[in-house]
Structure 1
Amino acid sequence: MRLILPALMSLVLATPAMAQTEAAERTIMATVVAEHDRHIDLLERLVNVNSGTLNLPGVTQVGEMVRAELEPLGFDVRWAPMEDTGRAGHLIATHDGGGKNILLIGHLDTVFETDSPFQTFVREGSRATGPGIGDDKGGMVVIIAALRAMQAAGTLEGSNITVVLTGDEERPGAPLEIARRDLIAAGRVADYALEFEGLAVENGEEFGTIARRSSSSWTLTTGGRTGHSSGVFGESLGYGAIYEMARILDTFRRELPEPNLTYNVGVIAGGTPAEIDAAGFRVTASGKTNIVAETAVARGDLRTLTPEQDARARQRMAAIVEDHLPKTTAELAFAPDGYPPMAPTPGNTALLERLNAVNRDLGLPEMAPYDPAKRGAADSGFVAADVDTLGGMGMAGLGAHAEGESVDLDSMVRQAQRAAVLIGRLSLE
């Protein structure tokens, strides 16, 4: 197994303020390497416990397994139950050593429920597969490995760290103001936030995540006068619901485009009648070729990079919807449970620069900002408006949310080293 442990004996620190931590950072580097097998074993045990979002006992069990790792490190750990949202709950751990507060974000749940055939950790050399292995059980193990290395080096004792691991990142409970209440509160008092979703990698190059787009859903319902199709387009019947739906969606396609904005249509139906189920996932319709459609319904998502872009897109979508074809109606409704964006801010950029200083000192390649259009939404979006945030601090992997999801086990070493050194330096400010 090839592990990267660069330049340990020639570590050069950038400023006199950091000189006091040189020996500690050497210990951090060596400890992460020495405990690598221990953390692979922990990853295997976590992966082999199903914690699909709706498997509430499984999510709770994974939370207890993480509690068992954090309490010996001196963290006060509590469980925030989420019965009111239909979810298991969140694990919140605090270590008040004074200094700057660093918020570490991850999640306990996965997209793989108990009925998925993909349930087991399998290792082949430096690569391993398993449900949620990278998203986000690998991220949780990186957090634990970093904190253990800090304890060994003596840098944890004086650090002020909050860990929030949500139990419903993949399928948030409702209402969202309750489901994300604890995370938002932690973000408002933090000085920095680090999110431990998977590391962004392309063609072997590793990137830093300073931005993520939002994720919200919408439902569009159109109506028309029904009757014999010989009257379609006429003064009496007009165009019907399906033509109105087609007009709106095609105008979205032609008039909305701008960088980092997408608006997917995921499901659609039209006829006499047509409807969508209460969950918003399944549509039904019936009709005949000689009947003008009475109803059409479509559901999709909207992803934006900034709150300003989100407001602009929604306003433009609403204006397009209101410009009806004759004898038709249309209504656009946005769901209230969307994920806000993690906008690219100067503070986030500066935090990546701090990480790149760590990379230089550890002999690791510097990281350019990753294209936010290539990343999904994450819990970091709920804190990014209040605190400088850096994402993608978890393990490198492939195939998230799909059977065969895998990680590069060696990346756990690099990421835990980076995180532990960065947390220690930020705490000293």
Structure 2
Amino acid sequence: MRAWRWWGRGRLVAGLLAAGSSGAAAQALPAQPVEAVAAQSVVREALAYLERSEPETLADQVALCEIPAPPFEERVRAEAFRDRLRALGFVDARIDAEGNVLAFWGDGSRPLVVLSGHLDTVFPRGTDVAVRRDGPWFRGPGIGDDCRGLAVVLAVARAMRRFDLQPRGTVVFVGTVGEEGPGNLRGVRHLVDHELRGRIDAFLSVDGAGWAITKDAVGSVRLRVRYRGPGGHSWSAFGMPNPIHALGRAIAAIAELQVPERPRTTFNVGIVAGGTSVNSIAQEARAEIDLRSESPDTLTALERRVRRLLEQARAAEQARWSGSGAPLELVVDTLGFRPAARVPAEAPWVQAAVAAARVVGGSSPPLRAGSTDANWPLHRGIPALTITGGGRGAGAHSESETFEAIESHRGPQWALLLVAALAGVR
């Protein structure tokens, strides 16, 4: 048994991930080899059914997509997702205290495997969420990210129920809230830290369209920056520190930062605001900053550098107008934190995902890094990854997002085979 090591924020965390340790009990993952599971007649029947029933999967995808689900307003879509699970026979499907939808399949034995898609979108209230179809093309905000993931979860649940595909362990079908930006992974945090604390042995997220595995978690820190001063008239109060000038100094300094290409690391000042009129010294200037890295250590170091630059900009603006005696304040708030994690390609659950993809799709999917619901279980020492839901997608996070249903049935097939291998089949 090999002890994998992966990284938590600012520290090295060690865990027996090769054994699938999640705290309460260690379970061997996968529970059965992918090839052995794929050879079972009940699994073959379920996989064939998923190809035949892809029109039903697409109908679920469209119906869910046409229910608005802005950040923190996922309830109506959650109820629809729950009701679909109940209609499939999961009569105990429920919504937890955070807003996640859960439905259990199995007798409660270990290993416990979560199959999840996320309910929320990035689009604000009032966005036109109608889906338009042209042949195999579907166009609408959120049609791929992540209505495809939700539809795949429903498809797998439908197939496992229809063919009474009983796991050796337990499968939990989940729709999470708060995966997108401002949600700060609140749904999966609650699921891992409270609702199923100490019980999850593997976590599989389905997010978006295509054919890829996200094995590494890109970490991010989001900061809200505010410079504050007394303000005043641009003529009569000239000579006091200007919050907008301080913010300008900070942005100029951040723009000159050098970051490594490997591990990939990025920074962005995405929102800037402040001031009341052209002839006023602003009382406040604000900005929001996004920092990302594949490495938690690099992310921590970048955040420290940015915070130093923010303070240096405040001090420089204060010193420039030191004779005024007017104060200049800096306030930095953390809006969000997503932990980074790097997982070896030879980790057994990653290899199981690759093997399952080869069985149903004939090719190995690329391994990549990204920010998904899998970030949090990895941070907590739970084997986790994210796969895509098949088909082809483009324009994620735009109102013109598209999904092309070309061999899209392979997405649900991939998810079912991987879940069956991770949980085992009786």
> Fold match, TM over 0.5?
yes
> 1:95 — aligned with what?
105
The yes-or-no answer on 1:24 pairing with 2:13 is: no
Matching of residues 351-370 of structure 1 within 5 Å: 351-370=349-368
Q: What is the identity, as a one-letter code, of the residue corresponding to 2:105?
A: H
State the alpha-carbon separation in 2 of the partners of residues 239 and 348 from structure 1. 56
> 2:416 — aligned with what?
420
> 2:399 — aligned with what?
403
Q: 2:253 aligns with which of 242, 251, 254?
A: 251
Q: 2:310 aligns with which of 294, 311, 321?
A: 321
Q: 1:108 aligns with which of 95, 98, 119?
A: 119
> 1:79 — aligned with what?
95
> 1:10 — aligned with what?
none
Alpha carbons of structure 1 residues 237 and 142: separation in structure 2 relative to 1, 3 Å: same
> 2:22 — aligned with what?
none
Q: What is the identity, as a one-letter code, of the residue corresponding to 1:158?
A: R
Q: Which moved more, 1:145-154 or 1:158-167?
A: 145-154
Q: What is the identity, as a one-letter code, of the residue corresponding to 1:264?
A: N
Alpha carbons of structure 1 residues 348 and 144: separation in structure 2 relative to 1, 3 Å: farther
Q: 2:266 aligns with which of 253, 262, 267?
A: 262
Which ranges of structure 1 fall in alignment gaps of 5 or more residues? 1-14, 83-88, 275-284
> 2:333 — aligned with what?
334
State the alpha-carbon separation in 2 of the partners of residues 61 and 294 from structure 1. 45
Alpha carbons of structure 1 residues 400 and 42: separation in structure 2 relative to 1, 3 Å: same
Q: Which moved more, 1:55-64 or 1:32-41?
A: 55-64
The yes-or-no answer on 1:207 pairing with 2:208 is: no
| Per-residue deviation, 1:108 | 2.1
State the alpha-carbon separation in 1 of the partners of residues 303 and 297 from structure 2. 10
Task: Tell me if structure 2 keeps the 8 A contact 1:187–1:193.
Answer: no
Aligned residues: 377
State the alpha-carbon separation in 1 of the partners of residues 112 and 346 from structure 2. 16
1:162 is paired with a residue of what secondary structure? Answer: strand
Q: Which moved more, 1:28-37 or 1:91-100?
A: 91-100
2:338 is paired with a residue of what secondary structure? Answer: coil
TM-score (norm 1): 0.75
| Per-residue deviation, 1:366 | 0.4
Alpha carbons of structure 1 residues 301 and 358: separation in structure 2 relative to 1, 3 Å: same
| Per-residue deviation, 1:220 | 2.1
State the alpha-carbon separation in 2 of the partners of residues 253 and 301 from structure 1. 13
The yes-or-no answer on 1:39 pairing with 2:41 is: no
State the alpha-carbon separation in 2 of the partners of residues 394 and 208 from structure 1. 10
1:263 is paired with a residue of what secondary structure? Answer: strand
The yes-or-no answer on 1:184 pairing with 2:193 is: yes
Matching of residues 132-151 of structure 1 within 5 Å: 132-151=142-161
Q: Per-residue CA shift, 1:21-61, capped at 9, x if unaligned?
A: 50333223211112122222222322333333455652343
| Per-residue deviation, 1:18 | 4.6
Alpha carbons of structure 1 residues 379 and 332: separation in structure 2 relative to 1, 3 Å: farther
Q: Let me know the Cα RMSD of the aligned residues.
A: 3.4
| Per-residue deviation, 1:92 | 1.6
Q: Per-residue CA shift, 1:123-148, capped at 9, x if unaligned?
A: 22222123322121211111121233
| Per-residue deviation, 1:90 | 1.8
| Per-residue deviation, 1:184 | 3.4
Matching of residues 251-330 of structure 1 within 5 Å: 251-259=253-261, 260-270=264-274, 274=275, 285-288=276-279, 295-323=284-312, 324-325=315-316, 326=319, 327=322, 329=328
> 1:85 — aligned with what?
none
Q: Which moved more, 1:408-417 or 1:303-312?
A: 303-312
Q: What is the identity, as a one-letter code, of the residue corresponding to 1:132?
A: G
State the alpha-carbon separation in 1 of the partners of residues 282 and 132 from structure 2. 52
Q: What is the identity, as a one-letter code, of the residue corresponding to 1:58?
A: V
Q: Per-residue CA shift, 1:137-176, capped at 9, x if unaligned?
A: 21111112123333455533434112231234346569x8
Task: Tell me if structure 2 keeps the 8 A contact 1:342–1:381.
Answer: yes
Alpha carbons of structure 1 residues 286 and 228: separation in structure 2 relative to 1, 3 Å: closer
| Per-residue deviation, 1:198 | 0.8
1:149 is paired with a residue of what secondary structure? Answer: helix
